Structure 1
Amino acid sequence: MEDIVFEAVIIEWRGPAPFLFAAVPDAHIGAIRYAAMTASYGWGAVPVVVRIGATEFATSLFPRDGGYLLPIKVAVRKSERIGLGDRIAVHMRVGRPDAR
Structure 2
Amino acid sequence: MANFKALPLLLLALIAFSMLATVALANNPYGPGSLTINQCSPQCTRRCSNTQYRKPCLFFCNKCCRKCLCVPPGFYGNKQVCPCYNNWKTQQGGPKCP
Q: Shared topology, TM-score over 0.5?
A: no
Structure number with higher relative contact order (C-alpha < 8 Å, ≥ 6 residues apart): 1
TM-score bracket for the superposition, by shorter chain length: under 0.3
The higher radius of gyration belongs to 2
What is the TM-score when the length of structure 2 is the normalising length?
Answer: 0.25
Say which structure is richer in strand.
1
